[in-house]
Amino acid sequence: MSATPAAVVEALAVRVDFQGVTALGGVDLTVHEGEILGLIGPNGAGKTTLVNVLSGFERPTSGTVALNGRDITAWPPDAIARAGLVRTFQGARLFAGLTVFENVEVAAVSAGRSRRDARALAWEILADLELERRAGLQARALSHGQERRLSIGRALALRPDCVLLDEPAAGLDEQESDELVGALARVREAFGLCLLVIEHDVRLIMQLSDRIQVLDNGTTIAIGEPAEIRGDPAVLSAYLGTGGQAHAERS
């Protein structure tokens, strides 16, 4: 029997109250080494609040967050990113006037790499994201799906232990979503990192995730492998709604 991979990111009993309203009611979450964990739930479930806490953009009312066993609960976002937990946002936040290659190279240099090492890493990342043929284009020339992949490439240039992805498939069509799934699977293997993915695209989450955690009203209502989550009555009721079973089976 193989040992459980080490916990890279671990949140324990995280609670967040906003002026008397509870956004998170004591949530536990663990992302293991090399794992892709999907985080889903209806609007207002607390997903973004939880990721804000993990990445240092929101201080919890109570509870703790650890990265590789170190308590980072009170750390600012830049310190957390330098320690190995990097977040992407729904907006790509690219340098539109720089080339695709330069966007990744600059991120690698900012992490302290030499220019030579940064260039080598940039080529490796662009190859895994299938963007190397667009390396010389300005970032503003990319399609929406390519922009999303480039923003992930900039995060990878920091050589993190874990990346938090906030709705990476928002606005993508089915083909672009499939390309994103393939790219994320490749970078997980190539860089040996873990991913936490917030996403409303159930089809993408079911394809991509090793495990899925479901939030509703600030609490965890289910954790399991995609097949378990697909048929969970509480998930179908809270997240997928009427007709959810058929939707999940098609995903």
C-alpha span between 34 and 1 (Å, rounded): 18
CATH class in words for 1-73+163-168+196-251: alpha beta
Using CB atoms within 10 Å of the CB of residue 115, give its burial: 0 to 12 exposed, 13 to 18 middle, 19+ buried: exposed
Res. 71: pLDDT tops 50: yes
Q: From residue 81, give the alpha-carbon distance in Å to each of 31, 87, 164.
A: 16, 8, 11
C-alpha span between 85 and 35 (Å, rounded): 14
pLDDT of residue 1: 47
Q: How confident is the model at residue 39 (pLDDT cuts 50, 70, 90)?
A: very high
Residue predicted with more confidence, 234 or 1: 234
Using CB atoms within 10 Å of the CB of residue 200, give its burial: 0 to 12 exposed, 13 to 18 middle, 19+ buried: middle
pLDDT digits (tens, 9 = 90+) for 195-210: 999 988 888 999 999 9
Res. 62: pLDDT tops 50: yes
For residues 224-249, give the mean pLDDT.
69
Pairing of strands 162-166, 194-198: parallel
pLDDT digits (tens, 9 = 90+) for 140-170: 999 988 998 999 999 999 999 999 998 888 8
Query: So where are the chain's domains?
Result: 1-73+163-168+196-251
User: Among 4-13, 76-85, 237-246, whose mean pLDDT is lowest?
Assistant: 237-246
pLDDT digits (tens, 9 = 90+) for 212-223: 999 999 999 999
Contact between residue 134 and residue 100 where contact means Cβ atoms under 8 Å apart: yes
DSSP state of 3: P
pLDDT of residue 241: 55
Give pTM, 2 decimals: 0.89
What string of H, E and C letters represents the secondary structure of 61-91?
CEEEEEECCEECCCCCHHHHHHHCEEEECCC
State the distance between the two ends of the chain, measured CA to CA, in whole angstroms. Answer: 31
Contact between residue 184 and residue 155 where contact means Cβ atoms under 8 Å apart: no
Nearest to 66 by CA among 23, 31, 17: 31
Res. 32: pLDDT tops 90: yes
pLDDT of residue 243: 39
Contact between residue 193 and residue 163 where contact means Cβ atoms under 8 Å apart: yes
Res. 246: pLDDT tops 50: no
Res. 245: pLDDT tops 50: no
**How high does pLDDT run on average in the chain?**
89
Report residue 204 as tokens. Answer: 């993408």
For residues 32-55, give the mean pLDDT.
94
Q: How confident is the model at residue 172 (pLDDT cuts 50, 70, 90)?
A: confident
Q: How confident is the model at residue 133 (pLDDT cuts 50, 70, 90)?
A: very high
Res. 40: pLDDT tops 60: yes
For residues 224-242, give the mean pLDDT.
80
